[in-house]
Amino acid sequence: MSPLLITGLLIVAALVVWVALQGLGTQKKSEAIESQMNELRRDMQSVANAQAQAAGQISTLASTVTQRLDAVSKSLTDGVAQSADISAKGQTAMREDLKNTQGMMERIHKQLGEFQEVSRGLSNAQQSLESVLGGAKTRGILGEVTLERLLEDSLPPSQYTTQYRFESGEAVDAVIFLRDKKLLAIDSKFPLDAFRRIQAEGDEARRAFVTAVKTHADSIAKKYILPAENTLDLALMFVPSESVYYELLQCADGKGLQLDAYCREKRIVAVSPNTLYAHLCVIAMGLRGMQIEENARRLANGLAGLQKRLGNFSDPFEKIGVHLKNAQQSYQEADRRLDKTQSALDGMLEAGDAPSDLPEAQQTLPLPPTSSAKSASK
């Protein structure tokens, strides 16, 4: 064979092989495409099924939404009707409230008029009270009357007295009688002028108030604490106003010493109507306790005397008992002898003895004891 033919055969063989290889590759690609088409068909089927399910759900949802819209529409309609009814009722209620408010406003205006009248009356009363309290003597009388009323409400009349005069000639507003003839002095002080000026003048008036209170405390300590006349080593300074008493507790002197502490240094106890009433209640309880103690002491002394009398009575009583016992024994002995005598007489009468024999029989019979015998036995 010639080389040309061999070359041609080789070329033809190569072409056949290439064509075969190309066909094999095309077949594989076709199979892959077919597989992908099958998968695509399945996906399309799934999408179609899902679309069908979605369509059903959308239909159900649309039905549900329609029902709810109908219900909401009905509710809105009912609500509008109820709103109209409520609005009508609200308007009626508002008219009633307005009417009631108008009546209330009329009553308030009336009460305001009455209050203005009362305020004018209180203003007049305040002016009258200020005019009454304008003088120091009048204020002193008011304090004394208040003190006396508190004493009357707390203590029996025998435990206190008013306007008690000491040997020096000074008269204290009241004294309380305590145990062992001790006296507790109470004096009423009312520094109202200085107190009134505090709000208007401030610190200057407060210093004057402090000075007035200290002066009162010094005066009470000097005049009414007199141990030589059986007073206690302290006294009470009665302030008849709670506001003045409160200011007294709040104030201090130029050295920073509180007024109530200064009073205590002077053995003076400042009291207001409320605190004085508490002090008097405690004093009344103490007096009742001392009275109970005194009654108990008297009772104990009486029981001791009774015990002594019983002791003195016991000896004669024992002697009387001995005599009664001896008399009982003598009586029993006489009774036995009388029984024997009676028995003997009964026996003699039954035997038929002659009366002439009776004296001899009487001589032989036992006789009952005479009074002399009883006395001897005693």
User: How far apart, in whole angstroms, are the C-alpha atoms of residue 61 and residue 97?
Assistant: 50
In the three-class reduction of DSSP (H, G, I as helix; E, B as strand; rest coil), residue 294 is classed as helix
Range list of H helices, 133-182: 136-154
- The answer, yes or no, to whether residue 131 has pLDDT greater than 50, is no
User: Where would I find the beta strands (DSSP E) of the chain?
Assistant: 160-165, 171-177, 183-188, 231-238, 268-271
- pLDDT reported for residue 83: 65
**39-53, 113-127, 325-339, range with the lowest pLDDT:** 113-127
User: How far apart, in whole angstroms, are the C-alpha atoms of residue 120 and residue 267?
Assistant: 45
**pLDDT-derived band of residue 129, with 50, 70 and 90 as boundaries?**
very low
- pLDDT reported for residue 176: 92
Nearby residues of 140 by Cβ (< 8 Å), 6 or more positions away: 188, 190
Q: Reduce the secondary structure of 185-246 to three states and give it as a string.
A: EEEECCCHHHHHHHHHHCHHHHHHHHHHHHHHHHHHHHHHCCHHHCEEEEEEEECCCHHHHH
Mean pLDDT of the chain: 76
For residue 257, report the phi and psi dihedrals to the nearest 5 degrees.
-85, 125
Rounded to an integer, the average pLDDT of 263-281 is: 89
Rounded to an integer, the average pLDDT of 205-214 is: 84
Nearby residues of 361 by Cβ (< 8 Å), 6 or more positions away: 344, 348, 353
DSSP state of 251: -
Higher pLDDT, 217 or 143: 217
Q: Looking at mean pLDDT, say which of 13-17, 95-99, 223-227 comes out highest.
A: 223-227
In the three-class reduction of DSSP (H, G, I as helix; E, B as strand; rest coil), residue 282 is classed as helix
Rounded to an integer, the average pLDDT of 84-90 is: 70
Q: Facing residues of 164 across strands?
A: 172
Rounded to an integer, the average pLDDT of 205-219 is: 86
User: How far apart, in whole angstroms, are the C-alpha atoms of residue 211 and residue 215?
Assistant: 6
**pLDDT-derived band of residue 80, with 50, 70 and 90 as boundaries?**
low
Higher pLDDT, 252 or 28: 252
**pLDDT-derived band of residue 186, with 50, 70 and 90 as boundaries?**
very high
User: How far apart, in whole angstroms, are the C-alpha atoms of residue 184 and residue 168?
Assistant: 17
β-bridge pairing 268-271 and 231-238: parallel
- The answer, yes or no, to whether residue 52 has pLDDT greater than 80, is no
- pLDDT reported for residue 236: 92
- pLDDT reported for residue 333: 85
- pLDDT reported for residue 125: 45
User: How far apart, in whole angstroms, are the C-alpha atoms of residue 375 and residue 171?
Assistant: 79
pTM: 0.46
**pLDDT-derived band of residue 181, with 50, 70 and 90 as boundaries?**
confident
DSSP state of 174: E
- pLDDT reported for residue 4: 66
- pLDDT reported for residue 310: 76
Rounded to an integer, the average pLDDT of 62-84 is: 72
For residue 241, report the phi and psi dihedrals to the nearest 5 degrees.
-125, 130
Looking at this protein, which amino acid is placed at residue 373? A
Q: Looking at mean pLDDT, say which of 38-42, 226-230, 308-312, 351-355 comes out highest.
A: 226-230
Could you read off the pLDDT of 140-150 as tens digits, one per residue? 577 788 888 88
